[in-house]
């Protein structure tokens, strides 16, 4: 472990050039200028080495430039790079067949391929309106679904995502997410907090403002990502599913961050024992080649030719990268996400025992959140401490990423080893010891 002097001279020069020509809206975390990567390790343009606990926001699922993914892309690139979604090609169809096998539905799935997570969410919104003939939706406070006009309307993790962009899409009502660490609703005796949130929707939202018969869908992240790696209380999804069935509302799971094996199951919704109607996927699906997929139960997808489409959907490079990624996850990394994820959680809980500023350690598989608090003030969030930890860890060669108000997300490549977990946690320990004077 050593402290880098960052950014180095080459990185400084690239950042200077970037500032002249790249949109300033990108939320750069710290001055990392990547040169190359392998597995869970990244080297910057000055030759500094970093251990990666964030995978480019949960995207590099098989690690950086896995040889099998690279080979699949190279072979496909030599054959053809593009044909457009107006035509057919085998890898696209093979991928959709695979997605139908993996989909968390008891009936076959139909896929629509996109270029990003937000486009997968837009597709789900449009399909829900088209299929139900209804116009209105429910989303969750703290949710993140992307930044295009429809999905950003649902996004409710920070006001800056809306500031300056009104009017947004019409027809979305937000309700609290069942966050047990920071509940905002009072339960009846014996009532689970998740069921309480669903009762809030029924009594307060359907009871006062939104007719359930106009409601097309409920869009929800099974585990909130950008909002703070929040795992819903266990009574939530069964109650939500029952309510959706009662009123003919589609349950749309945004698995863009939580899916593709990150929790040790293909889809994080599988941890909660219910089936959604539509799933949005992206990020880790193709190891970083831009690809999103909206999957829906086959019986819901009746929209006619031409009603929805795109130019790059089913791009062959993205499809072969996804097929190689899925194969690697199936053979090795899905299991590793579960076992090494559990190991990481256990080690992080030990760290929590050492530092009172770690208020909560929560996670499933390799989707783990550490919530930082000011222990002198109960559970008061401590975003300043969180930011200092992220910055200091970067200087010591560990890449972290914040989320929520005062949370660090641990979302490494799914190929991470227990030894790499230990290496990263040792750096975190050193950083915490320095910032808290050992307590």
Ligand X SMILES: Cc1ncc(COP(=O)(O)O)c(C=O)c1O
Pure H helices in 103-235: 117-132, 149-154, 193-200, 206-208
122/99 Cα distance (integer angstroms): 19
Task: Name the residue nearer to ligand X (CB basis): 225 or 276.
Answer: 225
Return all residues near 308 (Cβ < 8 A) that are at least 6 apart: 112, 123, 126, 127
> Minimum Å distance from CB 236 to ligand X?
17
> Minimum Å distance from CB 175 to ligand X?
17
- Residue 247, CB-side half-sphere exposure with 13 Å CA sphere: 24
Task: Name the residue nearer to ligand X (CB basis): 225 or 261.
Answer: 225
254/206 Cα distance (integer angstroms): 23
Could you tell me which stretch among 113-121, 180-188, 375-383, 416-424 binds ligand X (CB under 6 A)? 113-121
Among 66, 145, 196, 386, binds ligand X (CB under 6 A): 145
Could you tell me which stretch among 1-9, 111-119, 331-339, 424-432 binds ligand X (CB under 6 A)? 111-119
> Minimum Å distance from CB 241 to ligand X?
19
Among 37, 104, 146, 363, binds ligand X (CB under 6 A): 146
> Minimum Å distance from CB 24 to ligand X?
18
Three-state DSSP at 285 gives: helix
Q: Please state the separation of Cα 11 from the chain's center in Å.
A: 28
Task: Name the residue nearer to ligand X (CB basis): 147 or 379.
Answer: 147
The reply on whether position 287 binds ligand X by CB under 6 A is no
Q: Please state the separation of Cα 156 from the chain's center in Å.
A: 14
The reply on whether position 275 binds ligand X by CB under 6 A is no
The reply on whether position 144 binds ligand X by CB under 6 A is yes
408/74 Cα distance (integer angstroms): 35
Q: Rounded to 5 degrees, what angle do the CA atoms 337, 343, 347 make?
A: 135
CB-nearest residue to ligand X: 117
- Pick out residues in 249-268 that bind ligand X (CB under 6 A): 254, 256-257
> Minimum Å distance from CB 258 to ligand X?
7
CB 177 within 8 A of CB 142: yes
Assigned token pair, 336: 């590793």
- Pick out residues in 12-71 that bind ligand X (CB under 6 A): 57
137/250 Cα distance (integer angstroms): 9
Could you tell me which stretch among 60-68, 219-227, 229-237, 385-393 binds ligand X (CB under 6 A)? 219-227
The reply on whether position 281 binds ligand X by CB under 6 A is no
| Residue 430: its H or E element | helix 418-436
Task: Name the residue nearer to ligand X (CB basis): 286 or 357.
Answer: 286
Three-state DSSP at 399 gives: strand
Task: Name the residue nearer to ligand X (CB basis): 26 or 166.
Answer: 26
Could you tell me which stretch among 141-149, 165-173, 194-202, 386-394 binds ligand X (CB under 6 A)? 141-149
Among 117, 142, 228, 402, binds ligand X (CB under 6 A): 117
Among 44, 122, 179, 226, binds ligand X (CB under 6 A): 226
> Minimum Å distance from CB 43 to ligand X?
25
> In the block, which residue shows the tokens 């401590």?
382
Task: Name the residue nearer to ligand X (CB basis): 370 or 385.
Answer: 370
> Minimum Å distance from CB 227 to ligand X?
9
Task: Name the residue nearer to ligand X (CB basis): 57 or 328.
Answer: 57
The reply on whether position 225 binds ligand X by CB under 6 A is yes
Q: Please state the separation of Cα 30 from the chain's center in Å.
A: 20
- Pick out residues in 339-398 that bind ligand X (CB under 6 A): none
Pure H helices in 155-254: 193-200, 206-208, 236-247
CB 251 within 8 A of CB 213: no
Give the strand order in the sheet containing 398-399.
34-38, 41-44, 49-52, 398-399
Q: Please state the separation of Cα 248 from the chain's center in Å.
A: 27
Binding-site size for ligand X (CB under 6 A) equals 15
The reply on whether position 121 binds ligand X by CB under 6 A is yes
Inter-CA distances, 2 with 45, 291, 394, Å = 18, 37, 11
List beta partners, residue 403. 407
The reply on whether position 282 binds ligand X by CB under 6 A is yes
Three-state DSSP at 390 gives: helix
> Minimum Å distance from CB 133 to ligand X?
26
* Binding letters toward ligand X, positions 66-105, x by CB under 6 A: ----------------------------------------
Site of interaction with ligand X (CB under 6 A):
57, 116-118, 121, 144-146, 221, 225-226, 254, 256-257, 282
């Amino acid at each position: 472990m050593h402290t880098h002097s960052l950014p180095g001279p080459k990185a400084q020069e690239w950042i200077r050039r970037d500032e002249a020509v790249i949109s300033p809206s990108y939320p750069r975390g710290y001055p990392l200028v990547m040169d190359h990567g392998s597995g869970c390790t990244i080297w910057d343009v000055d030759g500094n080495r970093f251990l990666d606990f964030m995978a480019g926001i949960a995207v590099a699922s098989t690690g950086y430039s896995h040889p099998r993914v690279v080979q699949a892309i190279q072979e496909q690139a030599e054959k053809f790079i593009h044909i457009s979604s107006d035509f057919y090609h085998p890898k696209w169809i093979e991928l959709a067949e695979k997605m139908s096998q993996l989909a968390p539905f008891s009936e076959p799935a139909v896929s629509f391929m996109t270029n990003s997570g937000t486009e997968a969410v837009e597709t789900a919104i449009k399909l829900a309106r088209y299929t139900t003939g209804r116009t209105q939706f429910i989303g969750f406070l703290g949710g993140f679904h992307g930044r295009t006009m429809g999905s950003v309307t649902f996004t409710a993790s920070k006001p800056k995502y809306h500031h300056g962009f009104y009017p947004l899409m019409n027809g979305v009502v937000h309700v609290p997410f069942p966050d047990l660490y920071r509940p905002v609703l009072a339960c009846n005796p014996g009532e689970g907090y998740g069921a309480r949130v669903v009762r809030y929707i029924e009594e307060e939202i359907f009871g006062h403002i939104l007719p359930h018969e106009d409601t097309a869908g409920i869009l929800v992240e099974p585990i909130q990502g950008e909002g703070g790696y929040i795992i819903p209380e266990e009574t939530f999804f069964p109650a939500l599913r029952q309510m959706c069935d009662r009123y003919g509302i589609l349950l749309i799971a945004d698995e863009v961050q939580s899916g593709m094996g990150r929790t040790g199951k293909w889809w994080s919704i599988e941890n909660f024992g219910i089936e959604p109607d539509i799933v949005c996927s992206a990020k880790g699906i193709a190891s970083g080649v831009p690809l999103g997929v909206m999957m829906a139960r086959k019986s819901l997808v009746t929209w006619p030719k031409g009603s929805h489409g795109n130019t790059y959907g089913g791009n062959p490079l993205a499809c072969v990268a996804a097929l190689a990624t899925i194969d690697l996850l199936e053979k090795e990394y899905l299991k590793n996400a579960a076992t090494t994820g559990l190991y990481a959680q256990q080690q992080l809980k030990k760290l929590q025992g050492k530092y009172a500023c770690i208020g909560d350690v929560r996670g499933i598989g390799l989707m783990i959140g550490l919530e930082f608090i000011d222990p002198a003030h109960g559970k008061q969030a401590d975003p300043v401490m969180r930011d200092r930890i992220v910055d200091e860890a970067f200087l010591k060669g560990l890449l972290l990423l914040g989320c929520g108000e005062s949370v660090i997300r641990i979302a490494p490549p799914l190929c991470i080893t227990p030894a790499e977990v230990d290496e990263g946690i040792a750096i975190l320990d050193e950083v915490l010891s320095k910032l808290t004077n050992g307590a």
